[in-house]
Amino acid sequence: MHLNHDNDAPAADPIAFDDFLRVDIRIGTIIEAEPFPEANKPAFKLKIDFGPAIGVKKSSAQIVDRYALEDLAGRQVAAVVNFPPRQIGKFMSEVLTLGFADEDGAVILFAPDHPVPNGSRLF
């Protein structure tokens, strides 16, 4: 997560293109979503299918303000798939699901505007 979510914040320090290439951002389809009541901040537990090379991974996503649980299955999302797993309470989050803050600070999922194969990598 970035340290500063302010829309008026300056760009982060420059990185080398090779650093960008090391971040593996893939598209997956949410196959299951459930409540995560024990999370410190309101969140859902997601299972996301990234295709045969990556498989199904778990993620905790703080998206409860803009998404209904029952509307998430079948939705494609982008996620970083090569961060180490992160323990969030009793839940192990295996990927970082990506989103942007809207004008109210609620997270809006980052996804393609046309379907793409699960496992497609950002370039």
Report how far residue 56's alpha carbon sits from residue 33's, in angstroms, rounded to the nearest whole number.
Answer: 13
Express each pLDDT in 42-100 by its tens digit.
Answer: 999 999 999 999 999 999 999 999 999 999 999 999 999 999 999 998 899 999 999 99
Task: For residue 108, name the pLDDT band (cuts at 50, 70, 90).
Answer: very high
Rounded CA-CA distance 26/13 in Å is 24
Residue 57 contacts residue 47 (beta carbons within 8 Å): yes
> If pLDDT is split at 50, 70 and 90, which confidence band does 4 have?
low
Between CA 94 and CA 82 the distance in angstroms is 9
